[in-house]
Structure 1
């Protein structure tokens, strides 16, 4: 039986690796094959194929539920119900709308939308609204080793995103108890930690400040504020321990068997907490796992720890096969699997303090391969931080927070307990904040496959019991973390034009030097320099910048520069007027590792765009021109000041606007390809149709970050441009080049 369950689970998990989904015809053939195998000795293969068929069918249903291509970018009037807890952001409100419909009956809309309303009014769960929404198919920025938003949206079955232009409430909400509790929590004096309490009690992290998120990520304690297995387990453990303690002290009624009651009350408390938290997918997963563990404790301890874990894994995947697209799925099951491996079938008993300290380091070692595979930062302080934070949260924060929430109708009682919980939280965040500043997380470069496999084997050997004489060799295998990565050859440049939406950020790396041209956009509480550019640089192995070159002071080019300065050592900074660095000067030249760089600047330009600092790079006979936001006047000035105007690759001036990329400019440069950086459905209409037609007329190949993701080029190798979307995944739309 266990073999069949394992095969079925592997089939369900195979969905994550598929570049494309099989057609209906292939699915039928595979299903027939699976049913035939079930009657033979190949029945495990049949289980595996059955799992894959179910996962593919479910994924196809989710893809078919996306917004139709002909409605992408259109503004429609629709009506629907607000669900979940609307999140107030610095610029407005973000919320989900379910079962939307349009009075134009022929339109088929997705069943769930994720919408943003800039400067929108207060929304409550359960309200019905009639809204004018600019709808877009699920899409996200795609950068090297970065998160994949499209996978996340598909796993949550979000069929479209959109921006609300106008709206009116057409139906009041029924009593929304969760929203009401949130409002009470946010209005309570909790020592300035009201938003953190809302996250802890309701799973609503929308109000957390960016600094709080950064602190949690740096110390590996994000799980403390995301209601999942740990919170459910903590509450269930407290209830179970209370009943067991009363039974041991003789305080539990003798006529009531304590073990069934302890298991039943623990599960009841966990389900109540899950109900309070809205029963999202992580909470469902946690409650299912807890139910299996308690059943195992009550009746089936002879089955070992692996079987309950496998049952829980199958239960989650059969209900929602797309859960495997989420990093949290792998981390939560991985953590439980590591603990099961290290705490079961051991000879002798550990003292409680030994078990607790070992739990922290075994999770740190056991999850290391998963963190590397998922491209997540590794907190070196996580074991020590959790050693302190988990009991602090369990004993000093969670009980008064939950009890205070339950007692909110009681004057002073509930508010007093919540103030106490907030005071404890403030102390915890003070300690974690100090740790985060002293020891920021490690962002390793992606490992070669052989090195990653060695790390997996090393972690497994280190986690073996102490009597097994392989732990030291396992620790030696972990040195593969520092395996040599591919180096940029002398005389070449690795170029990455990052996908930063309506902005620009280009990384150039020679063998021993790094240069960043522009730093991405920032507006309000959205800083892509901090959230996109800086993490991508770290994952690409950039530990310092030899030069930060900001073309001009507009926010879509210079907005992220502050985050870059804070996050990485910058040896030198140049740019246009008002960018914070020294003003670049025409004619400045230098060489790095056999690669030539040259600056150009038009100080007489009538606008900031025209005064962009321009960079020309030459490597191995190939040339790249980074043109910033040059417009027609600057293009003429550049042509007049350069005798040799041939360029192989061109960063499209001003994102491909109609005021740039003039006919004489393109004709004189004669590039092989142009790299356009812009946001999908941007309000400026970039790139202009006339510009695209002009490039096409001159035989210039167009590469577009909005269609292809980040664009990679090895200048000097005589190769071509490769977009991140060239790596096919069934949930991604294909590139446009």
Structure 2
């Protein structure tokens, strides 16, 4: 602990924050433990006789303080705006706290609540709210605003692979979100307490306008945005999704997320320009410039980390002191997480610290392997590889993918970005006095951004640019950093002396045997059919994956605006989580918004070989029309389906279309829903009956065909609404479990109390996505396990039916199914 004393302290503090939600010890007891351990540590340190005892007491005190800080940070004040959340519109007044961020179809900002206007009084409020609008919001940081909208809790992760907006925003003090329609937001004048943030926003806007004015065509807007992203982050200068995806796949996305690279160049530039000043003036200059740059970038956690470490390094150099990189990194972690424990959930902060850890610890190891290369080139390769190794486990854990081309792509991208940062600053500085110089530097910036884009595009298009890591969990994350730790231990001089050639060969043989054994077990173990009912709020989305890996997505939409684009926020992350590179088919049950409005994004980001569509003659929604247009642009084969069609999923699994009939039903109270596709998916003696939005009239018409509908799992029709899943239907299906896809606090009152009562009277195990999150079913045809994302206990093992699936069920008269093979 003497070489890097702050490292174990920081790790202990982080561990305390992670376990704090499960600690039920009273705060008073924690204060006593922290104080007592600190006093004992001071007493032992004064005697200098028990260094290990001192270290244990320090870590014990740190643990107690970490749990206490977590409890304090998660206490909700009595006047917090989250306490008035609900389905009814709420009037709120506040001040814009963050710059407006424009997404694909929405504008977002954070509003700091001040009061709750009423007819006869004003109730004081605190806390922050994420304000989202699907129209252009004209407001700046520091503007007073008034809006009226329902307040809803931020979306938590309720599906595998889903990003938790609630955990990410908690660091900003945001607990609720408001979706504001046009005309419900009123902007007032600027507030004096936000002058500094407003000044930073004005500078950022002026820099953006200057770069745009001095950047030549073609595509001047894109190149100016990219320069702004290099200067102060992608969140403040959003780029087109295609460009962002190319940078992500090539492993150069970190250049667009402002962090240590920008801080290092800024500090270096300031040190070079202030060479003739005294060290105290240089410290003062950098000490003022760094906080303002943090404000200019809207202070994400990664830039705060970089600024703290950079300030420590500059102070040490100018004062003639040595600085330990790991201690500085640990100190930055303690400062950030001590100020805001919720920042631990920030993916940007995790990646920033992971990259720094890799550079500090792994660079010497890579340098020894690259000793045969020129030192400058070896150092560039070593730093790039070390940074990528430091973040690889985190990338696999959060995104299920690792860029394999990143080390090579960054050799070009990093020096280009460094030059671009200098050119951007020069253009901004020269524009007021020397416009001709600004024009020339802008033209140079255009060339450099072209190099960055071409570099990212070139490497992202390689066939093996990205390695998908399916099912990555905490175990894989720990295993990844465990491998890095073992590598470091093996590189220490004592271990290197112990590792003779024979021992290296023996260790290699053991690792190879374990690897072969694992892959053999993976290949020989029984393969399963997996059916996942995703939690998309008030909507439907089901993913069917066969034992051979064929994947069919059944619907993908949501009525719940909390998810915004449900395809981007839920469906695509889940498909990436399970390793799906392209869907074999997308089946649309019927053209309603809450079943299709996320499918355009799915087609754009994942793609599909085939579209299965009942193609109802009724008028379709705008989202369905957009989906059809995207499918046509991508050249996906669209196959009309009706009763009698089937799809061979491979491995013994099959999908049958039971409804609608060749001639759509007419004259019911809800023809669109009663023509919804009903499919059965089966493997062995386990079957799933998926009824879309079928209502009671459609159920009766389906029963008239006399099919054997007995199924192990039933997906309740029309989100469990009134009049669905009737007694007669349940008698014929006889399910062991039922999944209802519903949104929490939805305006329709789904599921209906009568529907839930009918299911419970029959002893059917009920799962609701609003309560359980995603519902995951796995079966090998003889045994069925059902688990939910929110449940912490073991999966439920349900009995399967005795009905074996006939091989000729659901086939057309021509004897072929949708796989194109004879049945």
Q: How would you bin the TM-score normalised by the shorter chain?
A: 0.7 to 0.9
- Change over 3 Å in CA distance of 1:448–1:706 after alignment to 2: closer
Of residues 737, 760, 765, the one that matches 1:673 is: 737
Of residues 83, 94, 97, the one that matches 2:108 is: 94
* TM score, norm. by length of structure 2: 0.77
* CA offsets 1:565-593 (integer angstroms, 9 cap, x no match): 55557555423217662122323455743
Structure 2 CA distance for aligned equivalents of residues 272 and 352 of structure 1: 33
- Tell me, yes or no, if structure 1 residue 180 matches structure 2 residue 192: no
How many correspondences in the alignment? 715
Q: Are the counterparts in 2 of residues 512 and 593 from structure 1 also a CA contact under 8 Å?
A: yes
**Match runs of 1:168-567 below 5 Å:** 168-172=186-190, 176-187=198-209, 188-189=212-213, 190=215, 191-193=220-222, 194-203=224-233, 204-205=235-236, 207-240=238-271, 269-299=289-319, 302=322, 304-343=324-363, 351-395=375-419, 397-407=420-430, 409-410=432-433, 412=435, 416=439, 417-418=441-442, 420-439=444-463, 440-446=465-471, 455-460=480-485, 468=496, 484=519, 490=526, 492-521=528-557, 527-565=565-603
Give, in angstroms, the shift of residue 692 of structure 1: 3.9
Structure 1 CA distance for aligned equivalents of residues 29 and 534 of structure 2: 42
* CA offsets 1:135-158 (integer angstroms, 9 cap, x no match): 012323432133222221223321
Q: Are the counterparts in 2 of residues 518 and 561 from structure 1 also a CA contact under 8 Å?
A: no
Structure 2 CA distance for aligned equivalents of residues 422 and 615 of structure 1: 54
Structure 1 CA distance for aligned equivalents of residues 397 and 549 of structure 2: 27
* CA offsets 1:688-723 (integer angstroms, 9 cap, x no match): 455445544554443222332211112446555322
Match of 2:638 in 1: 581
- Change over 3 Å in CA distance of 1:179–1:30 after alignment to 2: closer
Q: Are the counterparts in 2 of residues 709 and 723 from structure 1 also a CA contact under 8 Å?
A: yes
Q: Are the counterparts in 2 of residues 377 and 442 from structure 1 also a CA contact under 8 Å?
A: yes
Structure 1 CA distance for aligned equivalents of residues 351 and 601 of structure 2: 28
Asked which structure has the greater CA Rg, the reply is 2
Of residues 596, 605, 628, the one that matches 2:665 is: 605
Q: Are the counterparts in 2 of residues 240 and 265 from structure 1 also a CA contact under 8 Å?
A: no
Of residues 709, 714, 722, the one that matches 2:787 is: 722
- 280-289 vs 199-208, which moves further: 199-208
Unaligned runs of 5+ in 2: 45-49, 617-627, 629-636, 794-823
Q: Are the counterparts in 2 of residues 35 and 46 from structure 1 also a CA contact under 8 Å?
A: no
Of residues 61, 64, 71, the one that matches 1:60 is: 71
* CA offsets 1:348-400 (integer angstroms, 9 cap, x no match): 997323211221122223332333344452111111221111111111x2122
Structure 1 CA distance for aligned equivalents of residues 122 and 191 of structure 2: 28
SS of 2:537's partner is coil
SS of 2:117's partner is coil
Structure 2 CA distance for aligned equivalents of residues 269 and 713 of structure 1: 55
Structure 2 CA distance for aligned equivalents of residues 132 and 475 of structure 1: 65
Unaligned runs of 5+ in 1: 244-251, 729-737
Structure 1 vs Structure 2 CA RMSD: 3.9
- Tell me, yes or no, if structure 1 residue 167 matches structure 2 residue 185: yes
Give, in angstroms, the shift of residue 452 of structure 1: 6.1
Q: Which has the higher contact order (CA 8 A, sep 6+)?
A: 1
Structure 1 CA distance for aligned equivalents of residues 322 and 202 of structure 2: 46
- Tell me, yes or no, if structure 1 residue 155 matches structure 2 residue 153: no
- Change over 3 Å in CA distance of 1:88–1:709 after alignment to 2: same
SS of 2:314's partner is helix
- 534-543 vs 127-136, which moves further: 534-543
- Change over 3 Å in CA distance of 1:492–1:162 after alignment to 2: same
Structure 1 CA distance for aligned equivalents of residues 208 and 748 of structure 2: 39
SS of 1:236's partner is helix
Give, in angstroms, the shift of residue 454 of structure 1: 5.7
SS of 2:673's partner is coil
